[in-house]
Copies of this chain bind each other. A is one copy, B any other.
Amino acid sequence: MNNTKIIQSPKEFWKASRNNEYLKSTSGVAPGYVQTNLAVLPKEYAFDFLLFCQRNPKPCPLLEVMEPGQPEPKILAEGADIRTDIPYYRVYKNGKLTEETKNITEYWSDDLVSFLLGCSFTFETAMLNANIPLRHLEQDTIVPMYITNIQTTPAGIFSGPMVVSMRPIHKDNLVRAVQITSRFPATHGAPIHIGDPKGIGIENINLPDFGERAEIKGNEIPVFWACGVTPQVVALKSKPSIMITHSPGYMFITNERDESIAVL
């Protein structure tokens, strides 16, 4: 495989990941196809986690939940294998990161339930298509993320604060940015908050809890979206015996088109 060529189709991406031939970030891969976060948990946690996602759709927009032990995302990615078709995975035991690995076949069991959650790549593409620039892409940095004082709605053993991502938006683009992201409730949807970091418990906008600082220029307003890191932070807090996720930036790619999950 020639790594300089951009992979255009999900199937090609699954195969390259499976053979450890593609080991880079999935940003820009298979353009127009929905990319997702992955969270794998033992069945004993699955009802509470599913309920947590149902109650907190903005940080946890569920796209597919697979039956216990089922490694094929039959609805969104027929033919893929969730155990091998992502470049890098992270394995957590009792809430602690124990390994980063290229496949999770050795950890797999009939007891594991896989959750695919929408990721912001989808609405970011839509904003770029509307000529709304995104600072972290201009800077080639990781989007800044913050732990807020907004509490998620607890479910069973899961609870905790919402994590948000921040993108500086020029005031002339503010309405359009709200409109565009509102079309994608399956990938975090409309902003959670506009304009006042302190109002949601962020003391210093220049010191994100995850990711990297993004400069806010004159005439730009900080806009905050619910972030897919939330369910991961919340789940790890409950110290499950095992939890497996994708590695940050190395997403799963589905066979679904971005526009097919848009509302209106």
The residues of A with any CB-CB pair to B shorter than 8 Å are 46-47, 50-51, 54-55, 62, 64-65, 67, 75, 153, 155-156, 179, 182-183, 185, 263-264
The 3 residue pairs across chains A and B that have the minimum distance between CB atoms = A47-B47, A50-B50, A263-B263
26 contacts between A and B (CB under 8 A): A46-B47, A47-B47, A47-B50, A50-B50, A50-B51, A50-B54, A51-B65, A51-B67, A54-B54, A54-B62, A54-B65, A55-B64, A55-B65, A55-B75, A67-B155, A67-B156, A75-B153, A179-B264, A182-B263, A182-B264, A183-B264, A185-B185, A185-B263, A263-B263, A263-B264, A264-B264
A65 CB contacts on chain B under 8 angstroms? 51, 54-55
A47 CB contacts on chain B under 8 angstroms? 46-47, 50
Assembly CA distance A51 to B155 (angstroms):
15
A62 CB contacts on chain B under 8 angstroms? 54
A64 CB contacts on chain B under 8 angstroms? 55
A190 to chain B, nearest CB (A): 9
Assembly CA distance A62 to B155 (angstroms):
15
